[in-house]
Amino acid sequence: MKIESDFNDIDAIGDDHIGTSSDTPLRADAFELSKSDKIELIKADVKHILETLGLDLNDDSLKGTPNRVAKMFVNEVFGGLDPDKKPNASTFDNKYKYGEMLVEKNITVYSTCEHHLLPIVGRAHVAYISSGNVVGLSKMNRIVDYFAKRPQVQERLTIQIVKELQSVLNTEDVACVIDAKHLCVNSRGIRDIESSTVTSEFGGKFKNLETRREFLDYIKLETQF
Ligand SMILES: Nc1nc2c(ncn2[C@@H]2O[C@H](COP(=O)(O)OP(=O)(O)OP(=O)(O)O)[C@@H](O)[C@H]2O)c(=O)[nH]1
Ligand SMILES: [Zn+2]
């Protein structure tokens, strides 16, 4: 059954519905809690984890950690779970009549792997072809950052960025490539520091091989300034 309020359901993007794509029941009140309630609850949970690991939370350096981690989760690294933080990417008329693709490349991605809660760090490259509207350049970076600031898998992040830009720009002609390192692969488990993960989503005209190639060639350009 499709959960109407599915936060990570890629079909629900554009709605500010909240929920989960897993079969795990939601904590019923999770999205009605105030920020400060969430911080207090997470703080107690982090304290519990650290104490279970045998750490002394009376230690000067550790005593503030539960509060720091809770604030960091709610306000920063998982801030993209708050629909109020969704960027307001207002569009304006393409008065320049610019008809080629626009590429915003090397957008920094800081995200968190939802399997291990370890960082995902990399670059996103986003492109669109205007159907009449254009969007401020920085809004593309902001949209990437908003969806990145959630527990994520890279595939879903890539699709969410494309869907959101398609909705904002009212065109299917949007593409995104992400190249990122997953610290769960690089620093633990298989500990392969060299490997990175590339994902892509090509909508509309970007499904055409030539258009796709042009986008990929722009990504390879070295920016000189
Ligand atoms: N498809 C996909 N997999 C991911 C992503 N981030 C992490 N993973 C993988 O999710 C998998 C979780 O597998 P598990 O076998 O449950 O985890 P694990 O026992 O810690 O596995 P190892 O990392 O191999 O030690 C791992 O293979 C991760 O590399 C992602 O963004 N997309
Ligand atoms: Zn992981």
Annotated catalytic residue, options 125, 164, 182, 201: 182
176 is catalytic: no
The Å distance, Cα 106 to ligand 1 centre, comes to 25
CA angle 193–199–205, rounded 5-degree value: 155
Pick the CATH number of 91-220 from 3.30.1130.10, 3.30.360.10, 3.90.740.10, 3.30.1490.190: 3.30.1130.10
Distance from C-alpha of 91 to C-alpha of 73, rounded to nearest angstrom: 31
Percent of the chain whose predicted confidence (pLDDT) is above 70:
88
pLDDT value at position 12? 47
**176 appears as a binding residue in the annotation:** no
Which of 10, 182, 184 most suits a substitution to test ligand 1, by most atoms within 8 Å of the C-beta? 184
Of the two residues 90 and 117, the one the predictor is more confident about is: 117
The Å distance, Cα 200 to ligand 2 centre, comes to 19
Distance from C-alpha of 163 to C-alpha of 192, rounded to nearest angstrom: 32
Taking only the tens place, the pLDDT of each residue in 69-80 is 999 999 999 999
pLDDT value at position 19? 41
> CA–CA distance from 75 to each of 83, 118, 209 (Å)?
12, 17, 41
Q: Regarding the domain delimited by 10-85, which CATH topology (the fold level of the hierarchy) does it fall under?
A: GTP Cyclohydrolase I; Chain A, domain 1 (1.10.286)
pLDDT value at position 79? 96
pLDDT value at position 218? 97
Of the two residues 25 and 160, the one the predictor is more confident about is: 160
Structure tokens at 130: 């205007």
Sorted by where each begins, the domain ranges of the chain are 10-85, 91-220
Q: 38-52, 53-67, 83-97 — which is least confidently predicted?
A: 83-97
pLDDT value at position 225? 85
Q: How confident is the model at residue 84 (pLDDT cuts 50, 70, 90)?
A: very high
32 is catalytic: no
Residue nearest to atom 9 of ligand 1 (CA): 115
114 is catalytic: yes
- pLDDT (average), residues 44-51: 98
**Do 91-220 and 10-85 have the same topology in CATH?**
no
Distance from C-alpha of 18 to C-alpha of 80, rounded to nearest angstrom: 11
Taking only the tens place, the pLDDT of each residue in 26-36 is 777 787 899 99
Mean pLDDT of the chain: 90
Annotated catalytic residue, options 40, 116, 155, 214: 116
115 is catalytic: yes
pLDDT value at position 29? 77
